[in-house]
Amino acid sequence: MKNTLLYTIILLLFLTSCMNDDVLRDFEKLNANENNEGVFILNEGSFMSSNASLSYYNTKTRDLINDVFYKTNALPLGDVAQSITINDSLAYVVINNSGKVYIINANTFKYVGKITGLVSPRYIQIINSEKAYISDLYSNAISVINLKTNTIYKQIISQNCASTEQMVMFENFVYVTCWSYSNKVLKINTLTDLIEDSILVTKQPNSLKIDKNGKLWVLSDGGFSGSSYGQDTSALTKIDLETFTIEKVFKFPDFDASPTKLQINANADSLYFIYNSWSATNVLNCGIFAMSIFDENLPENAVIEQGNRIFYGLGISKNSEIYVSDAKNFSQQSTVYRYNSMFQLIDSYDVGIAANSFGFK
């Protein structure tokens, strides 16, 4: 009996395994060489599911490839992809809940490097060929990166500003919005890496852009209804950068409106954003709003109506085409709509889960 038992155990141990995990990596890799104009669509994925992905759309041929990072590199992108920044031949993809930035070749999608050891990264701002800043949702600090080694070498502590969000650079300064439970825009001197100044704006500035006249436009969503931080009426703020003072505040008429994703065209004279609501109440005229930097008032109607869709990501191409994603319920494939500069639909296609931003090449 003892022997039978022993033999049985030995036999069982030598049986081959049933689950084949290697199938996730052993496949013919995508061998792309996309030298033409194209758009990266970054799909955030679901929080804690590590299912973020990157799609690529060739604007000329209208060919779409989903999941290009995984298909090329046999690695998942990570958990919660936040933003994509293209710098020459490289694309920097910030993966928020994976604490890292993947650097890929923008034509072949091959993974060429990464910046790791971050806390909760949100956006990357390239300062020059050697330096970049990475903002952070949770760390009270902006990480300064050496782009030659892709390592963090310094932290710019952002006191009284728990969350740093979007960044833009103008001359030698980087302007940063302090978004979550905050209401500030910081001014950082890129030569010294010191915060030189800050300015108070409407609660929760989520995005910012610089126009051709050197004015800074900051879009604030006003916060969430019911949050302990309180809610403001959302607003678009125009800041003069020479004096670093507020030139004009455009208050939105509806208290429950939550505008997001401020974008600007290549000429830097037209602003676009998503006009939506985070409250239970319905806000009228939701959709894509467009306005000239010379307009005296906020637009009243959407140029692209949202309808039943849930607009989440917005991008403006070099020729002023509008890309907007419908994230649906954030748990299935998003649909991206491409409109021409006259807001007529050109194309639509399905991408990954929760498409949140576009990277134009």
Within residues 70-109, the interface with other proteins by CB under 8 A covers 70, 75-79, 95, 97-100
Build a one-symbol-per-residue string for 187-226: x at contacts with other proteins by CB under 8 A, - elsewhere.
Answer: -------------------------------------x-x
Residues 286-315 interacting with other proteins (rule: CB under 8 A): 308, 310-312
Render 199-239 in DSSP notation, one character per residue.
EE-SS-EEEEEE-TTSEEEEEE----TT-TT-----EEEEE
Q: How far is CA 133 from CA 164, 165, 217, 277, 292, in A?
A: 11, 11, 20, 31, 30
- Side-chain half-sphere of 128: how many Cα atoms within 13 Å? 6
Q: Closest distance between other proteins and the C-beta of residue 60, in Å?
A: 26
Does residue number 54 form part of the binding site for other proteins (CB under 8 A)? no
- What residue has token string 């050109």? 346
In the bound state with other proteins, the residue whose beta carbon lies nearer, of 119 and 249, is: 119
Q: Which two tokens stand for residue 195?
A: 């915060």
Counting residues that bind other proteins (by CB under 8 A) gives 79
DSSP run (H or E) holding 346 = strand 345-353
For residue 141, state whether it binds other proteins (rule: CB under 8 A): yes
Name residues contacting other proteins, limited to 110-129 (CB under 8 A): 111-114, 116-121
Residue nearer to other proteins on the CB measure, 16 or 245:
16
Please, which of residues 236-275 interact with other proteins by CB under 8 A?
258
The single-letter DSSP state of residue 255 is: T
Nearer to other proteins, 266 or 284 (CB): 284
Q: Does 329 bind other proteins (CB under 8 A)?
A: yes
152 or 298: whose CB is closer to other proteins? 152
Single out the residue of 16, 128, 297, 344 in contact with other proteins (rule: CB under 8 A): 16
DSSP string, 277-320: B-SSSPPTT-EEEEEETT-SS--SS-SEE-TT--EEEEEE-TT-
The contacts of residue 154 (CB under 8 Å, 6+ apart) are 143, 144, 193
